[in-house]
Amino acid sequence: MTKLGDHIKTADFKNEKHVPVIELPSVVKPGEPLQITVSVGKEIPHPNTTEHFIAWIELYYLPEGGKFAYHLGRADFLAHGASTEGPNTITCNTEPQAVFKVKLDLPGELIATSWCNIHGLWEGSAELKF
């Protein structure tokens, strides 16, 4: 039997438009509010059409030495140019970028996942250092 992790795709975000990219401030202090931006298509824009789009982004935090990852949040992107007139008939699109504001007191790893309606589940990560 396969596991979900066997089907999660990863790649260098500079060469792949599906990988969620995590951006952190240059200075991070334990226990203080931290703004984390996650986007898909940072270097190569991802299409945002009725036929091909990023549906959501999720963000997780795995503290250093921790047993479990914490689900920090999810952003859904619901508008992809469709209207009652049909597909791609209106410029009403949500771009795949989300901002999460959290407080964390341990270093660890941030893990983001995203879902492309055609190319499936993707993952990107970043190290959180204080």
Domains of the chain by start residue, with CATH: 4-128 (2.60.40.730)
Q: What are the pLDDT tens digits along the chain (130 aa)?
A: 888 888 888 887 667 789 999 999 999 999 999 999 999 988 888 988 999 999 999 999 999 999 999 999 999 999 998 888 988 888 888 999 999 999 999 999 999 999 999 999 999 999 999 9
Q: State pLDDT tens for residues 35-63.
A: 999 999 888 889 889 999 999 999 999 99
Q: What is the pLDDT of residue 13?
A: 64
Catalytic residue among 58, 80, 116, 123: 116
Q: What is the pLDDT of residue 43?
A: 84
Told to judge if 16 belongs to the known catalytic residues of this protein, a careful annotator would answer: yes
Using a cut of 0.75, tell me whether the model's pTM lies above it.
yes
| 66 CB neighbour count, 10 Å cutoff | 12
Q: Provide the token pair at 22.
A: 């995590």
Q: Provide the token pair at 3.
A: 């596991």
Rg, Å, the chain Cα set: 16
Catalytic residue among 17, 42, 58, 123: 17
